[in-house]
Structure 1
Amino acid sequence: MVVGDGTTAVTRDAPPRAYDCTIAAAPATFLLVSFRRTPIWKVIARGGTRAGGRRPWLATRLGELVATPDLVAPP
C-alpha cells in the first residue's frame, strides 16, 4: 500500500524506490490495527508487527490512513 498526496494505492511488484516507512505484519493483525479493533501499542509490545525505513514512527498513524468500515447492521 502506497500512501501519498492524499491518496492510497495498493500495488503489486512496485518499482524500487525509497519508502519512508515499511510495515511488516500478519494480514489479520494488520486489519485489526487498521480498523481500530486492537491498539497498535499492544501489537507492537507483543512483537506482532515491525516498522522500518527512514521514518518508522509513521506506522503509528496507520489507523488514521485506513477507513474503518461501517459495521452498523441495516434495519
Structure 2
Amino acid sequence: MLKLRLKRTGKKRAPSYRIVVMEHTSRRDGRPVDEVGFYNTITKQSKLDTPKIVKWLENGAKPTETVMYLLQKANIIQK
C-alpha cells in the first residue's frame, strides 16, 4: 500500500522533511516512489505540488496523520 509520508532531511537538531510517496513497508529514509513537497519545522514553511498530490490520492495513496494535517492546512483536503 502506498502512503504519503514524511522523509527526514536536514542536519542534527535542525530537521526538515520531504513529503514523499512510499510503500508502507519501506523504512523512513528509504527510496521514495515520488517526491511531492517539503516542510520545514523551524520556519513552518511548506511547499506542496498540488496536482501530484491529488493524482496520488486519487490512485489510492493514504496520507499519514501528520501529512493529512499539512494537506488540510493547505486546503488540499477538507475535513
The verdict on a shared fold, with TM-score over 0.5 as the criterion, is: no
Structure of higher RCO (CA pairs closer than 8 Å, 6+ residues apart): 1
TM-score by length of 2: 0.31
Q: Which is richer in helix?
A: 1
